[in-house]
Amino acid sequence: MLKIKNIAVFASGSGSNAENIIKYFENNESINVKMLLCNLPTAYVLRRASNLNIPSVIFSRNDLYKSNNVIDKLLYNKIDLIVLAGFLWLVPENIIRLYKNRIVNIHPALLPDYGGRGMYGDNVHKAVIADGKKESGITIHYVNENYDDGAIIFQAKCKVADIETPESLAAKIHALEYEYYPKIIESVLMRL
Ligand code: GAR
């Protein structure tokens, strides 16, 4: 019998990557995006998940850091892989330990550059442009107990034009994210 592998997506914001991932696996018989977990009740990603019929869980700092509420949800739903897609909180150690090499993140720059606390979304693009970099890109990596620090799985690059704005760079980066993140998730799952 085919063993179905379950994904939990964690997101904090708009959730365009979450939506792209959900749609990519929609008709997959062996991979199931089982749930979306979100730390912000007003995040647009919750609307996207509901439109796509994916159950979501909203959790607080207490749920994540001071109780087993989140971990219990992951276990109850038999989650095999945790996918961070614009999730801005640090994953606590108990989840890292339980899901060793089974948590992946996407970062909108070429790590190890432009990573770490506070480096997310447009902050990253502004810093890359301010430094006059000629290229940027995406990094997909395993998650450990530090921000943007786990082993790198995949990177892809794009050019930074002379007239680039944070918005135009974000669009280039998002295009790379949509193209590669679901495929890399699939290949990580195949190896589990
Ligand atoms: C994405 O570009 C993702 O790489 C970035 O947040 C954006 C979320 O967009 N993640 C980080 O910066 C993590 N440090 P989305 O909500 O539209 O998917």
**Comparison of pLDDT for 169 and 147, the residue scoring more:** 169
Check if 181 has its Cβ closer than 6 Å to any atom of ligand 1.
no
How remote is the CA of residue 108 from the centroid of ligand 1, in Å?
7
Domain definitions of the chain by residue range:
1-100
Fold classification of 1-100 is Rossmann fold (3.40.50)
pLDDT at 118: 87
**Structural tokens at position 92:** 């606590």
pTM as predicted = 0.97
pLDDT at 1: 65
Point out which residues pair with 158 in neighbouring strands: 136
Contacts 24+ apart (CB under 8 A), 49-57: 49/15, 49/18, 49/22, 52/19, 52/22, 52/23, 52/26, 54/22
pLDDT, tens only, 114-151: 999 889 989 999 999 999 999 999 999 999 988 899 99
Q: Which residues are designated catalytic?
A: 107
Q: At 186, which helix (H) or strand (E)?
A: helix 166-191
Residue 2 has pLDDT above 80, yes or no: no
Query: What mean pLDDT value characterizes the chain?
Result: 96
pLDDT, tens only, 89-109: 999 999 999 999 999 999 999
Q: Across 45-151, where does the E strand assignment appear?
A: 56-58, 81-84, 103-107, 135-142
Check if 15 has its Cβ closer than 6 Å to any atom of ligand 1.
yes
